[in-house]
């Protein structure tokens, strides 16, 4: 979804626009204040309708994850190509609303369709991908096993949408599931280039 925060356009996933953290999550996670992170279950009280933060979703290692992507913005011939780093996923379903009485797809409508069994899933030989298009005014259902620990970016592949926040980070596993940070590993801000006179 594309919205405006008054000064510029922002892009949203679950009404959250992604803002990059001040340090890399993989090597300097402890340097990032906890209030930088949020998700749809953990929104700061002052976040407002279009929240801006480091959108991060925590997934236990080896969990089965299903994501339903819904395009709520009716833009003609614009399907968002969503890409997940770190793992491939199966595409179980893709299309527009099977309910002809509804002209505009939104998350609540998709949830209702799913409860009624109308978002069909194909479990026999589903396509394996790392990028899939979400049809304009439609939905896509993906599923994967979270077996690769780390911090993985999930984003629309339109560069403009990445820049204005249509991303989130999926954290698979916990710190104990990750390899240790090598000793003397470079840190952001500790490299000072030589000053030439």
CA atoms of 124 and 112, how far apart (whole Å): 24
Alpha helix ranges (H) inside the chain: 25-28, 107-115, 159-163
Q: Mean pLDDT throughout 104-120? A: 85
Q: Are 140 and 93 in contact (CB under 8 A)?
A: yes
Residue whose C-alpha is closest to residue 176's, from 94, 92, 60: 60
pLDDT at 156 over 70: yes
Q: Specify the fold of 64-145.
A: Immunoglobulin-like (2.60.40)
Q: What is the pLDDT of residue 75?
A: 62
Share of the chain above pLDDT 90, in %: 50
Q: What is the pLDDT of residue 31?
A: 92
At 23-62, the pLDDT tens digits run: 999 999 999 999 899 988 888 777 777 788 999 999 999 9
At 162-195, the pLDDT tens digits run: 888 899 999 999 999 999 999 988 888 777 777 8
Q: Where are the domains of the chain?
A: 1-59+148-176, 64-145
């Amino acid at each position: 979804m594309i919205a405006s925060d008054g000064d510029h356009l922002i892009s949203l996933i679950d009404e959250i626009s992604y803002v990059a953290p001040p340090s890399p999550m993989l090597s300097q996670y402890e340097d990032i204040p906890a209030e930088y992170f949020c998700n749809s279950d953990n929104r700061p009280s002052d976040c407002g309708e279009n929240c801006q933060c480091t959108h991060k979703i925590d997934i236990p290692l080896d969990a089965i994850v299903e994501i339903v992507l819904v395009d709520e913005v009716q833009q003609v011939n614009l399907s968002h190509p969503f890409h997940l780093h770190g793992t491939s996923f199966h595409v179980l379903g893709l299309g527009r609303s099977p309910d002809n009485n509804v002209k505009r797809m939104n998350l609540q409508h998709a949830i209702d369709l799913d409860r009624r069994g109308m978002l069909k899933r194909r479990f026999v030989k589903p396509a394996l991908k790392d990028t899939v298009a979400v049809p304009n005014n439609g939905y896509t259902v993906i599923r994967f096993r979270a077996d690769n620990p780390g911090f993985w970016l999930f984003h629309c592949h339109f560069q403009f949408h990445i820049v204005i926040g249509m991303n989130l980070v999926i954290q698979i596993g916990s710190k104990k599931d990750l390899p240790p940070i090598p000793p003397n590993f470079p840190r952001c801000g500790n490299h000072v280039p030589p000053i030439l006179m």
